[in-house]
Structure 1
Amino acid sequence: MNAVLDAQANAATGARRTDAPTRVRLPRRPVHGVLLLDKPIGWTSNDALQKVKNLLRAEKAGHTGTLDPLATGLLPLCFGAATKFSQVSLEADKAYRATVRLGQRTEGGDREGAVIEERPVQVDRALIEAACARLTGKLMQMPPMHSALKHQGKALYEYARAGITVERAPREVTLHSIDIVEWQAVTPEHLVIDVSCSKGTYIRTLAEDLGELLGCGAHLAALQRTGSGPAQLADAISLEALLACTEAQREARLLPPDVLLRHWPALHLQADDAGRFLSGMRRRVDHPDANDVRVYGPHGQTFLGSAHITAGELIADRLLSPLEVQAQLPVAATPTLTP
Structure 2
Amino acid sequence: MNGIINVIKPPLITSFRVVELIKRKFRLRHIGHLGVLDPIATGLLQIAVGSATKMFDYFTSLDRAYRVELLLGIATDTQDSAGKPVKISEEVSLKGLEEVINSFKGEIIQIPPMYSTLHYQGKRLYELAREGIEVPRQPRKVLIKSIDILETRDGKYPRVILDVVCQRGAYIRTLCNDIGEKLGVGGHMASLIRTRIGSIDLTKAYPLTEILEKGSSITDYFMPWILLDELKKVELIVKKQRDNFIKGKPVQLFRALSSKKEFVSVWYGGVCIGVGKVSQDVLSPIASERVNVD
Tell whether the structures are fold-level matches, with TM greater than 0.5: yes
| Higher strand proportion (structure 1 or 2) | 2
CA contact (8 A) 1:267 1:293 kept: no
> CA–CA distance in 1 between the matches of 2:121 and 2:21?
25
Counterpart of 2:64 (choices 94, 97, 100) is 94
- On the 8 A contact 2:231/2:264 being kept in 1, the answer is yes
Residue 202 of structure 1 aligns with which residue?
171
Q: Structure 2 CA distance, aligned partners of 1:133 and 1:304?
A: 38
% identical aligned pairs: 32
Cα gap change, 1:73/1:319 in structure 2, threshold over 3 Å: closer, same or farther? same
292 and 109 in structure 1: CA distance in 2 versus 1, 3 angstrom threshold: same
Q: Does residue 256 of structure 2 align to residue 268 of structure 1?
A: no
Distance change (3 Å), C-alpha of 1:153 and 1:49? farther
2:222 alignment partner AA: L
1:290 deviates by 8.5
Instruction: Answer whether contact 1:278 1:304 (CA < 8 A) is retained.
Output: no
For residue 25 of structure 1, what is the aligned residue in structure 2?
A: none
Cα deviation, 1:239-295, whole Å, max 9, x if unaligned, reads 2222221404x5322214x4674312211122355659943656515x698874514
- Structure 1 residues 297 and 229: CA distance shift in structure 2, 3 A: closer
Between Structure 1 and Structure 2, whose CA radius of gyration is higher? Answer: 1
Contact 1:88–1:261 (Cα < 8 Å) also in 2: no
Answering whether residue 140 of structure 2 is matched by residue 178 of structure 1, we say no
The answer (yes or no) to whether the contact 2:70–2:189 under 8 Å persists in 1 is yes
Determine whether 1:303 maps to 2:274: yes
Residue 121 (str. 1) matches residue 92 (str. 2): yes
Task: Please name the residue that 1:284 is paired with.
Answer: 255
Contact in 1 for aligned 2:265/2:272 (Cα 8 Å)? no
The CA deviation at 1:201 is 0.1
TM-score under structure 1 normalisation? 0.76
Task: Name the one with the larger helix percent.
Answer: 1
Give the distance between the partners of 2:261 and 2:222, measured in 1 at CA.
27
1:50 aligned residue (9, 15, 20): 20
> Unmatched 5+ residue regions in structure 2?
none
Shift of 1:207: 0.5
Q: Deviations over 1:23-74 (max 9, x none)?
A: xxxxxxxx22111111122222111101012222223211102122222221
- Report the counterpart of residue 252 of structure 1 in structure 2: 220
Change (3 A) 1:113 1:297: closer
In structure 1, distance between residues paired with 2:277 and 2:57? 12
The answer to whether 1:39 aligns with 2:5 is: no
SS at match of 1:225: strand
Report if the CA contact (8 A) 2:3-2:223 is conserved: yes
Note closer, same or farther for the CA distance 1:259–1:217 as it changes in structure 2 (3 Å cut): farther
Work out the CA distance in 1 between the residues paired with 2:235 and 2:4: 22
CA distance in 2, matches of 1:54, 1:193: 36
User: Secondary structure at the residue paired with 2:93?
Assistant: coil
Structure 2 residue aligned with 1:221, among 178, 190, 197? 190
Query: Deviations along 1:114-142, whole A, 9 cap, x unmatched?
Result: 22222221124xx2221111100001111
Residue 329 of structure 1 pairs with residue 291 of structure 2: yes
Higher relative contact order (CA 8 A, sep 6+): 2
With normalisation by structure 2, the TM-score equals: 0.87
Structure 1: runs of 5+ lacking an equivalent: 1-30, 335-339
Residue 319 of structure 1 pairs with residue 285 of structure 2? yes
Q: Please state whether the residue corresponding to 2:268 is helix, strand or coil.
A: coil
The amino acid of 1:162's aligned partner reads E
